[in-house]
Structure 1
Amino acid sequence: MKSFKSARKTNSTAVDDDERALFRDAVKGARTIDNDKIQPLPAKQRLQQKKHRQKADSVGLNSRAATDFFSDQFQGYIEDGPVRYVAEQESHYLLKQLRRGDYSPEMLLDLHGMTLAAAKQELAAMLRACEKQLIECCSIMHGHGSGRLKQQLPHWLIQYPGIRAFHQAPKEWGGDAAIVLLIKRRD
């Protein structure tokens, strides 16, 4: 009787014509890869990309900005009816003022046609820009569409620590397809 090592060795090296035909049939139509190596960027382009990343980080537009504040799994309590929220330390009178249109938005963000991931990035960038430019009131147009963005947007906003209050926008600022929000000013 042959030992296990020698039997294994002969089985692994011996390929009969049926196995070769089966293999060739399986890979029929496959083509070879021309180049699977990524060429390094020239030094000048690497330097430009580094400067661009540093500038985006200083403005707060890096790719981690949205994930630092917004979780898709978090579901805050939103009452039935118009979308509204007021932070714990704020007056509920802010909701009435937002509903009546006492505050006019200084910045508008239109999220029509964006995916949830892209909308999250844009929202984070807008909120940071509002804080840097000392903008207190802004409006976010989410549109009607499938309703996924309209449903998720309030849950993202509740998570952001700089939100004082938000309410469904008055008709002149988009009605039920938009949200008007107040942001804390950092003086």
Structure 2
Amino acid sequence: MNDRKKLTMEEKKIFFDFMRGTRQLVQDTIVHKSVRKSRTQRVLQRVSSTQREHSYYFSDEFQPVLASAGASRYLRHGVNQYELNKLYRGYYTPEIVLDLHGMTQVQAKQELGALITTCRQKHLYCSRILHGHGKHILKTQMPFWLAQHPLVLAFHQAPRQFGGDAALLVLIELVD
């Protein structure tokens, strides 16, 4: 109210009659937090959810039927046999390498999921996984995990120049 218009006594009386029986409100301050996440939080959430999606496929209980004699190899149904032969002969050069030396099975599964995610995002067709010899734990489990994943087209024991029987060459399906 500005100073130019002053209330008369009668107007003040009318105002107080209307306000009789009321009490003053207590002002509570509510601070609203921003709903929008920062860019780094969104990127981290997307990466972790993608890794969770890919690690879901790696079960220790599921045992697919793989060739027991000879080198570790797998070919998804519907993929040309020639792709497996090209892997064996070293026709494909790995575009990315995953070294699992010294990792536990849980860590290896997470890294394998991250590898498949990276291959999809960067459109990398062939990858090399170094599982090593060690106690043969990762060496025996890796083919079972890879055969479970729907984006793995084929894998074969790597030729000598790419690690021999301590490594696998893997072909990943590129999804647009």
Match of 1:71 among 59, 73, 87: 59
Aligned to 1:107: 96
Q: Match of 1:56, as an amino acid?
A: L
Identity of paired residues, percent?
Answer: 43
Task: Give structure 1 regions of 4+ aligned residues with deviation exceeding 6 angstroms.
Answer: none
Aligned to 2:79: 90
- Structure with higher Rg: it is 2
What do residues 12-38 of structure 1 show as CA deviations (whole Å, max 9, x unaligned)?
Answer: xxxxxxxxxxxxxxxxxxxxxxxxxxx
Aligned to 1:182: 171
Q: Specify every segment of 5 or more residues in structure 2 that has no aligned partner in the other structure, as ranges.
A: 1-37
Aligned to 2:136: 147
RMSD: 1.9
Measure the CA separation in 1 of the matches of 2:134 and 2:49.
26
* TM-score when normalising by structure 2: 0.73
* Matched-pair contact (CA < 8 Å) for 1:60–1:128: no
**Aligned to 1:76, what secondary structure does the other structure show?**
coil
1:57 and 2:45 aligned: yes
**What is the CA-CA distance between 1:62 and the residue it aligns to?**
6.0
* Matched-pair contact (CA < 8 Å) for 2:87–2:155: yes
Aligned counterparts, 1:2-13, within 5 A: none
1:168 and 2:168 aligned: no
What do residues 119-164 of structure 1 show as CA deviations (whole Å, max 9, x unaligned)?
Answer: 0000000101100111000000000000010000011101111111
**What is the CA-CA distance between 1:81 and the residue it aligns to?**
1.1
Aligned to 1:130: 119
